[in-house]
């Protein structure tokens, strides 16, 4: 499947940046979920003091970035670069929410894989400039996403069993050379399209991309799933998580023991009636900040794989009968600098 291996390469970083500060700001349902107490900030109205959902989402990014900068003790005006993106058309939450941050700005579009795309590009930034820091910020908001991708929430559309709930959440990560978990390896994803046309089954659209990236990683590294404390996919939810388990197993790689999905961790799926689980750029990002990184910092984990997944879906192209490509970017994060 991969053709020439030169382009499939794992990137082993010379300068392994550490995540010296991170924070997550979330909405009501996320705060009511099993990770509720671990988020840094929540707003039970989901509005974050703003008049429109798009501005609310931007404000969440702003809050998350400021909290992360404070924890990292990095003043906003010494930030080397800012990598940000979201789901809303023209990446508007990132552009407007972060407007007062006076730093070089790189807008990204990786759908729900944006957290890992940003961590990869920020790591490359740290490895090819003399910059002392870089920030990665991403978000999603249930109400801005629903009206853009499906129906406005006021419409009360019935959701299918395979549909996921877009997380209202933003997270920010500050990369630098201080204390914190280390980013040691990267494997950027490829666009993979296996013909899924149902926009209410994002898990199935993204799963083949996660399988492609994980398979390439294990083949090239010679490692196996049990070499890691845990392997996280972004937001495949119940459907996508099952598909990845099955496809990897068919490929001779047994993931089941320590394979988790951020979309399954963030909600009590049945208790909160969340159908297939959480999704959105804010899903994997806020779980990374609130759940995964604290375990690395406390020493409960020493070595994990974080594989954020995205469905590169356009509602316009779905109406035009096109299928939905997926992508999955991998970041290896370790407690110690040297593996």
Q: Point out which residues bind a second copy (CB under 8 A).
A: 2-4, 6-7, 9, 11, 13-14, 51-52, 54-55, 75, 77-81, 85, 87-92, 95-96, 98-99, 102-111, 117, 120-121, 123-125, 127-132, 187-191, 193, 312-317, 320, 322, 325, 327
C-alpha distances in angstroms, 67 versus 61, 81, 104, 112, 260?
Answer: 10, 17, 19, 22, 27
Please report how many Cα atoms fall inside a 13 Å half-sphere around the Cα of residue 150, on the Cβ side.
21
State the DSSP code for 160: P
Closest approach of a second copy to the CB of residue 337, in Å: 17
Closest approach of a second copy to the CB of residue 269, in Å: 26
**Number of CB atoms found within 10 A of residue 316's CB:** 8
Measured from the CB atom, is 52 or 179 closer to a second copy? 52
Measured from the CB atom, is 15 or 246 closer to a second copy? 15
Measured from the CB atom, is 70 or 124 closer to a second copy? 124
State the Cα torsion 267-169-87-108 to the nearest 10°.
-120
Closest approach of a second copy to the CB of residue 165, in Å: 19
Closest approach of a second copy to the CB of residue 182, in Å: 16
Contact between 205 and 279 under an 8 Å Cβ cutoff? The reply is: no
CA 237 vs. chain centroid, Å, equals 13
Closest approach of a second copy to the CB of residue 50, in Å: 10
- The helix or strand, by DSSP H or E, that contains position 139, with its residue range, turns out to be strand 134-140
Measured from the CB atom, is 35 or 187 closer to a second copy? 187
Measured from the CB atom, is 29 or 62 closer to a second copy? 62
Measured from the CB atom, is 33 or 110 closer to a second copy? 110
C-alpha distances in angstroms, 246 versus 47, 193, 220?
Answer: 39, 18, 21
Closest approach of a second copy to the CB of residue 329, in Å: 9
The Cα 244–Cα 167 span in angstroms is: 21
Angle at 228 between CA 303 and CA 124, to 5 degrees: 50
């Amino acid at each position: 499947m991969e053709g020439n291996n030169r382009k499939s390469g794992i990137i082993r970083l010379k300068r392994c940046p550490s995540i010296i500060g991170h924070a997550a700001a979330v909405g009501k349902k996320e705060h009511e979920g099993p990770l509720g107490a671990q988020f840094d900030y929540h707003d039970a109205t989901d509005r974050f003091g703003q008049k429109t959902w798009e501005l609310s989402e931007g404000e969440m990014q702003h809050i998350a970035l400021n909290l992360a900068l404070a924890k990292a003790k990095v003043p906003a005006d010494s930030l080397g670069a800012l990598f940000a993106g979201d789901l809303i058309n023209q990446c508007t939450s990132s552009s407007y929410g972060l407007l007062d941050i006076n730093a070089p700005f790189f807008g990204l579009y990786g759908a729900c894989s944006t957290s890992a795309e940003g961590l990869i590009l920020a790591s490359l930034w740290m490895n090819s400039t003399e910059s002392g820091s870089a920030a990665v910020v991403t978000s999603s908001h249930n109400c801005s996403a629903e009206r853009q991708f499906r129906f406005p929430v006021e419409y009360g559309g019935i959701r299918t069993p395979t549909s996921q709930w877009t997380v209202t959440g933003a997270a920010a990560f500050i990369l630098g050379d201080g204390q914190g978990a280390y980013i040691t390896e990267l494997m950027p994803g490829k666009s993979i399209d296996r013909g899924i046309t149902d926009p209410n089954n994002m898990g199935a659209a993204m799963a083949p991309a996660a399988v492609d990236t994980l398979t390439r990683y294990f083949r090239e590294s010679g490692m196996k799933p049990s070499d890691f404390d845990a392997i996280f996919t972004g937001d495949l939810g119940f459907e996508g998580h099952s598909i990845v388990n099955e496809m990897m197993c068919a490929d001779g790689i047994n993931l089941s023991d320590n394979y988790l999905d951020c979309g399954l961790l963030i909600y009590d799926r049945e208790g909160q009636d969340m159908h297939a689980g959480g999704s959105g750029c804010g899903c994997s990002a806020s779980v990374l900040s609130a759940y995964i990184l604290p375990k690395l910092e406390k020493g409960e984990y020493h070595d994990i794989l974080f594989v954020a997944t995205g469905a590169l879906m356009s509602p316009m192209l779905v109406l035009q009968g096109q299928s939905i490509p997926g992508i999955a970017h991998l970041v290896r994060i370790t407690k110690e600098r040297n593996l």
